[in-house]
Amino acid sequence: MTDTNVKANMERVVLIQGASRGIGLQFVRELAQRPDTAKIFATCRRPGDAAELSALAEHYSNIDILTLDVAQETSVAAAAETLAARTDHIDLLINTAGLLHTDSQQPERRLREVNADALRSSFEVNAIGPILMARYFEPFLFRSSHAVFASLSARVGSIGDNRLGGWYAYRASKAAQNMFTRTLAIEWARRTQPVICLALHPGTVDTDLSRPFQKNVTAEKLFSVERAVKQLMSIIDGASEKDTGRFIAWDGQDIPF
């Protein structure tokens, strides 16, 4: 094998789903600078509004932005079709889009705050989105010789670890996401060249998602996006087939489902 072949085999084609802000944007920034990244497909629902992502794509020629609203199956399917004209495989797909609150939706503190619209939108983004990504992007992953499919989950989605209550929509949608990841890992492990599936908890990270809830978090427990992404990439880089189906925290510890 020539040096060029060795290098080509080490270079990863990556897809970051939910890349307009927060942790997803930082994955793009971090991976764009790595010598082992061949190409990054960065997806977001409104590329025209994603100023920081567009600026990154102007700076790094290996970033390609695609439109993908993870809450719309037709949008996920269309993005997969667009991608087919640009690559035959993906070595790493990371689902980062997540919904905890919006201007009109706050996490529930008690039962009477639960409503169907908020439950529905949380499930669409946090749970249904990642499994639709698997459904439509599966062929790209199985054309890689070592693919990882990772979804950002949250410790509060652990049923076994739930001692505080509250946040019904977010907790339940992340628990559903974890079940999808686990079920997918079992199916994909039966294939000749399995794709590794991971559910990852990033810790509390300083982004728009956590900002309203940071006041009781100590400085050392509040990670910058830079630190969070480095920690998650070290888990992803070290993952092998024996890790598939695990729910792993930023420090490598297993979280109970």
Ligand X SMILES: NC(=O)c1ccc[n+]([C@@H]2O[C@H](COP(=O)([O-])OP(=O)(O)OC[C@H]3O[C@@H](n4cnc5c(N)ncnc54)[C@H](OP(=O)(O)O)[C@@H]3O)[C@@H](O)[C@H]2O)c1
Is 134 near ligand X (CB under 6 A)? no
Minimum distance from CB of 61 to ligand X (Å)? Answer: 22
204 counts as binding ligand X under rule CB under 6 A: yes
Which residue number, 144 or 153, has a Cβ lying nearer to ligand X? 153
* Closest distance to ligand X from the beta carbon of 249 (Å): 10
Nearer to ligand X, 75 or 244 (CB): 75
Q: CA-based angle 179:185:168, to the nearest 5?
A: 15
| Interaction between residue 44 and ligand X (CB under 6 A) | yes
Structural element, H or E, at residue 196: strand 196-201
Decide: is 37 part of the binding site for ligand X (CB under 6 A): no
Among residues 15, 28, 66, 205, the one that binds ligand X under rule CB under 6 A? 205
Neighbours of 210 (CB within 10 A): 19
How far apart are the C-alpha atoms of 248 and 234, rounded to whole Å?
12
Q: Minimum distance from CB of 184 to ligand X (Å)?
A: 17
Q: Does 226 bind ligand X (CB under 6 A)?
A: no
C-alpha dihedral, 196 to 197 to 202 to 208, nearest 10°: 120
What is the C-alpha separation between 76 and 133, in angstroms, rounded?
Answer: 7
Strand partners, 247: 199
* Sites for ligand X among residues 11-30 (CB under 6 A): 18, 20-24
89 lies in the binding site for ligand X (CB under 6 A): no
For residue 199, count CB atoms less than 10 angstroms from its CB and return exposed for 0-12, middle for 13-18, buried for 19 or more.
buried
Place of tokens 């920081």: 52
Among 28, 132, 154, 248, binds ligand X (CB under 6 A): 154
Q: What is the dihedral of CA 107, 132, 208, 120, to 10 degrees?
A: -20
Binding flag, residue 176, ligand X (CB under 6 A): no
66 in contact with ligand X (CB under 6 A): no
Which residue ranges make up the site for ligand X (CB under 6 A)?
18, 20-24, 44-46, 69-71, 96-99, 125, 152, 154, 201-202, 204-205, 207-210
